[in-house]
Amino acid sequence: MKKARNPGQLLTLLKVAILVDLRTGSSLPGKMSRNKWAFLWMALFYLFIGLVTGGSLMEAEVTLPVFAAFVYSGIFLFISLNILIEYQEILMSPVDADVLFWRPVPSRTIFVAKLLNLCFYVTLITLALAFFPTVFVMFREGLNPIAGGFLFLCGALLNALSATGLTVVIYAVLLRYVSSERLQDILAYVQVLLFMIVFVGYQMVGPLLEKLVSGEETSFAVFDYVPPGWYAAIPALAETGLTSRVLIPLALGGSFLLVASWIAILRLSPAYLERISSVGTAAGTRAPGETTRRSPLARAFARLFVREPIRRAGFEFFMANLVGDRKIKVALLPIVAMPVAFAIFGWITSGGVDPYDLPPAESEPLTGTRFSSSFSFFLAAYMLCIFLLTLTRAVTASTSWKAAWVFYASPLRHFDRFYVGCLLGVVYGLVLPATAMLFIVMLFVWGDPFHVLLHLGVSSAMGFVVFPAGMLFGEVVPPFSREPNRGGKSLDMMIGFLGMPPLFLVGILHYSLRHNLSGLILLISSLLFLGWGLWLVAKRRFRAGIRVSAAG
């Protein structure tokens, strides 16, 4: 029997995987591919995030390990988030099966090559996120640029690899122990759950940073128990040398990484090929009893709002993809789940505080927990708006992008009508359930339906603005027919972040007008008016754009 790993094969697999990733999105040598653009934007975005985080910490009176632990916490969450929304595809996608899995390459070699491919992106993102904090920490602490900076980056990388290890182990355990037929479904829900945990965790970074900068706290006990806190001991080596205060967290960090690697590589990788292939085969198998018929509610919605036949075809097409393609479900489920997670988070942390019962902001400014809690209720609704901003891009992407063949082989004369049907599917399948669930959670907390309606009215009107606004950017592509590209979802995330400031401004206006009924109604009306104008522009762009694509 041959050895379980082959360094030559490993290097070949890694080299080709990266080459394919960088080239995808362009059929012409020398032309900048879509993936390369996505990487470039992503790197700039993460450099900016690092600049803001590092810059904010420069003001805080904290020790080097606390500075490092804080920066590393942000990196840990960002890496986990990136793997969950995008790079898990490297490990979990069955598309390599026909090209690769029947070649004489051991399962473990392919798994390790994929892991290294993942680590390549993790390293790039980490370097971008840690660049400015490293520069700042060297100035702030007066560290030796080579040893100090190097140790800070090393800590950041090991911390990022821990985040990777933890996520990979979760995926590998699911892959190993859940049946192929159920895996895609279980994966969808676990992924959304992890996404919610990581995202809500990231929301806590802001208030904690505020406490450090204001001097309210100088450190947090939680750093003793989490990997970012352990790896923060590495840059501390430059200041203190190898002491017992540094040795224990280092041992914990090293053990964590070793255990994660041992579970993933030695325990779970031998069955990797067979499991991934089974998932690919089982994904197309409809479970007994699973029906393709629309629910009575969907049929009623279609009868009321989607009567025109081409629009109806678009509606049915979107709903069939949402229900039938588990990967699409995984990609779009956060749109429903995240706002609800925020509302629940706000409810738990506030104990049910109603921000409308709080005195007007000008007479008693809100601070601390009360502010954070009431802010979560607002953020829950605006989160939906952020998703809507990138939804046009999200519904064009598909792992198989097989729909492209259908659309380009037989272009429809009224593609814009078909597209509007798809968008109505988005409204029915995603936006209405998300809003309804938010309504239920908030009604449970506040108990006054009118109150909740008014609260959601402003954010819904804002959604009516951002949805067409999102359609004004990027390519005009029919639904589920865009070739998937590495970095595409990170780009969506960046667009979402860029959309935050204007949404935040509307949110502040919403909050300050919360005791002024006529002001709120005026705000809602203005947003609806603006949204309608943007919708007309977006519709014209899509009508012209998709005709060009179909003709091409």
Partner 1 sequence: MIEAENLGKAYGAVRALDGVSFSAKPGEILGYLGPNGAGKSTTVKILTGLIHPTEGGATIGGHSIREDPVEAKRLIGLVPESGALYEALTPLEYLRFVGALYELEPKDCDERARGQLAELQLDEKAWNQRLSGLSKGMKQRVVIAAALLHRPRVLLFDEPLNGLDVGGTVKVKEIIAREAARGCTILYCSHLLDVVERVCSRIIILSEGKIQVDGSLSSILARYPGKTLEEVFQELTRGGAMDVDGVDSAEGQI
52 touches partner 1 (CB under 8 A): no
Find all residues with CB under 8 Å of 292, minimum gap 6, and list them.
320, 323, 324
Listed residue (224, 234, 240, 228) closest to 155, CA to CA: 234
The least CB distance from residue 185 to partner 1, in Å, is 13
Among 287, 409, 548, 551, binds partner 1 (CB under 8 A): 287
CA distances from 311 to 79, 315, 324 (A): 40, 6, 20
409 touches partner 1 (CB under 8 A): no
CA distance 508 to 334: 24
Among 117, 162, 203, 278, binds partner 1 (CB under 8 A): 278
Q: In sequence order, what DSSP letters do the residues of 288-310 get, joined into one string?
A: TT---SPPHHHHHHHHHH--SHH
- Residues binding partner 1: number (CB under 8 A): 37
Structure tokens, 88: 């898990």
Structure tokens, 130: 């840690």
Q: Choose the binding region for partner 1 from 21-29, 372-380, 495-503, 516-524 (rule: CB under 8 A).
A: 21-29
Structure tokens, 10: 């490993």
Q: Choose the binding region for partner 1 from 6-14, 57-65, 219-227, 368-376 (rule: CB under 8 A).
A: 6-14
> Which residues from 359-378 bind partner 1, rule CB under 8 A?
none
292 touches partner 1 (CB under 8 A): no
Nearer to partner 1 by Cβ, of 87 and 419: the residue is 87
Nearer to partner 1 by Cβ, of 53 and 485: the residue is 485
Q: Is the dihedral of CA 468, 470, 476, 477 positive or negative?
A: negative
Q: Token pair 């898990």 is at which residue?
A: 88
The least CB distance from residue 121 to partner 1, in Å, is 17
Q: Token pair 């606390």 is at which residue?
A: 66
> Which residues from 129-188 bind partner 1, rule CB under 8 A?
181
The least CB distance from residue 497 to partner 1, in Å, is 29
Q: Token pair 């590589």 is at which residue?
A: 265
Q: Choose the binding region for partner 1 from 15-23, 59-67, 356-364, 491-499 (rule: CB under 8 A).
A: 15-23
Among 1, 221, 304, 548, binds partner 1 (CB under 8 A): 1
The least CB distance from residue 481 to partner 1, in Å, is 15
With residues binned 3-state (H G I as helix, E B as strand, rest as coil), the percentages for the chain, rounded to 5, are: 80, 0, 20
16 touches partner 1 (CB under 8 A): yes
CA distance 70 to 187: 30
Q: For residue 123, count CB atoms less than 10 angstroms from its CB and return exposed for 0-12, middle for 13-18, buried for 19 or more.
A: middle
- Rg for the chain (alpha carbons), in Å? 25
304 touches partner 1 (CB under 8 A): no
525 touches partner 1 (CB under 8 A): no
Nearer to partner 1 by Cβ, of 286 and 293: the residue is 286
Q: Choose the binding region for partner 1 from 23-31, 131-139, 467-475, 512-520 (rule: CB under 8 A).
A: 23-31
CB of 401 closer than 8 Å to CB of 480: yes
> Which residues from 236-275 bind partner 1, rule CB under 8 A?
273-274
Q: Choose the binding region for partner 1 from 161-169, 200-208, 282-290, 457-465 (rule: CB under 8 A).
A: 282-290
Q: For 369-381, what is the HEC assignment?
A: HHHHHHHHHHHHH
Q: What is the DSSP letter of 552?
A: -
Nearer to partner 1 by Cβ, of 142 and 284: the residue is 284
Q: Choose the binding region for partner 1 from 2-10, 135-143, 192-200, 408-416 (rule: CB under 8 A).
A: 2-10
Nearer to partner 1 by Cβ, of 98 and 216: the residue is 98
Structure tokens, 358: 């709080």
What x/- string results for residues 87 through 116 when contact with partner 1 is judged by CB under 8 A?
--------x-xxxxxxxxxxx---------
24 touches partner 1 (CB under 8 A): yes
Q: Choose the binding region for partner 1 from 24-32, 62-70, 310-318, 536-544 (rule: CB under 8 A).
A: 24-32
Nearer to partner 1 by Cβ, of 118 and 385: the residue is 118
CB of 454 closer than 8 Å to CB of 520: yes
CA distance 360 to 234: 47
CA distance 131 to 464: 38
Q: Which residue type, as a one-letter code, is found at position 125?
A: I
Nearer to partner 1 by Cβ, of 107 and 481: the residue is 107
> Which residues from 495-514 bind partner 1, rule CB under 8 A?
none
> Which residues from 177-196 bind partner 1, rule CB under 8 A?
181
Q: In 3-state terms, what secondary structure has residue 482?
A: strand
Q: Is the dihedral of CA 281, 283, 284, 285 positive or negative?
A: positive
The least CB distance from residue 107 to partner 1, in Å, is 8
Query: Contact residues for partner 1 (CB under 8 A)?
Result: 1-2, 6, 8-9, 12-13, 16, 19-20, 23-24, 27-29, 95, 97-107, 181, 273-274, 277-278, 281-282, 285, 287-288
